[in-house]
Chains A and B, each alone.
Chain A
């Protein structure tokens, strides 16, 4: 059993992780935590740095859930990355965080959560911050 969660170091990312941990614990599943960036811009605050990754790892270890962290720049969107991990590992559940966006924001930016919801082959749990 595998649960995939898209993690970002923001409130919605934290609450996604929180729910993913509970789901994984309940299902006795392995938790795959994905944090990536396309590396498009010089600065990407959604890509966790070493300090944040260490905190994350500590938290995962403390939770006692079987886990794995996928972290790095592979030139793909976060949504593509999450979907491809879910496909390759035959995930039973994907957990994503959603943040509130204005209508204009939705139009211009699109969203990682939206793409995952539309394109995933397995159930998706969308969590609001």
Chain B
């Protein structure tokens, strides 16, 4: 009980303001759905009286209503409960120093996978993620990364018939 209680006492403001961002997101998605649906043609058709617009309008409407209700709820002091887990320590603040490098590793892989191929970019992804998450054994990590990338590359090719991109190692692998 105590951890949750102290947290809500010390950071209600920040949590509130941040949670309004969720309302904003819902409103934006809702608006996008409605606007997108509005530009659809509705051909008259006996076989499809509902048409392609009805469901998007309902979904968009639901999202907009949710956005408004959530805003009211948050302003009146409602709070979303962050999810707990075995490895989640909610008493600590968000560790952006872990999350941002992790996102960086992910993003680098998206940009590099088609150029460098899976073996190199995948190994970099694992190595970078492990480092971001606090592993401090660069050499051991590199070994594991390369091994994982190679095993999955050949495993997918031999076992599943899926040829992952070899990239710059084309011909070597």
User: Within 8 Å by CB, do A and B touch in the complex?
Assistant: yes
Partner of B140, one of A40, A42, A75, A108: A108
CB of B87 within 8 Å of the partner chain: yes
B87 touches A75 (CB 8 A): no
Chain B interface: which size bin?
Answer: under 10
Q: Which residue of A lies closest to B137 (CB)?
A: A110
Q: How far is the CB of A108 from chain B (nearest CB, A)?
A: 6
Q: A: which residues have CB within 8 A of B?
A: 38, 40, 42, 75, 77, 108-110
**Chain A positions within 8 Å of B77 at CB level:** none
Give Cα A75 to B140, complex, Å: 19
Q: Which residue of B lies closest to A75 (CB)?
A: B134
CB of B86 within 8 Å of the partner chain: yes
B134 touches A40 (CB 8 A): yes
Q: How far is the CB of A50 from chain B (nearest CB, A)?
A: 20
Give the interface SS of chain B, mostly helix, strand, loop or mixed.
Answer: loop
Give Cα A52 to B140, complex, Å: 31
Q: Which residue of A lies closest to B139 (CB)?
A: A110
**Chain B positions within 8 Å of A42 at CB level:** 86-87
CB of B136 within 8 Å of the partner chain: yes
Give Cα A40 to B137, complex, Å: 12
**Chain A positions within 8 Å of B135 at CB level:** 40
Give Cα A108 to B139, complex, Å: 9
Q: Which residue of B lies closest to A77 (CB)?
A: B136
**Chain A positions within 8 Å of B136 at CB level:** 77
Please name 12 pairs of A and B residues whose Cβ atoms are closer than 8 Å in the assembled complex, sorted by A.
A38-B134, A40-B134, A40-B135, A42-B86, A42-B87, A75-B134, A77-B136, A108-B140, A108-B143, A109-B140, A110-B137, A110-B140
Q: How far is the CB of B48 from chain A (nearest CB, A)?
A: 54
Which chain B residues in 131-165 approach chain A with CB under 8 Å?
Answer: 134-137, 140, 143
Give Cα A38 to B136, complex, Å: 11
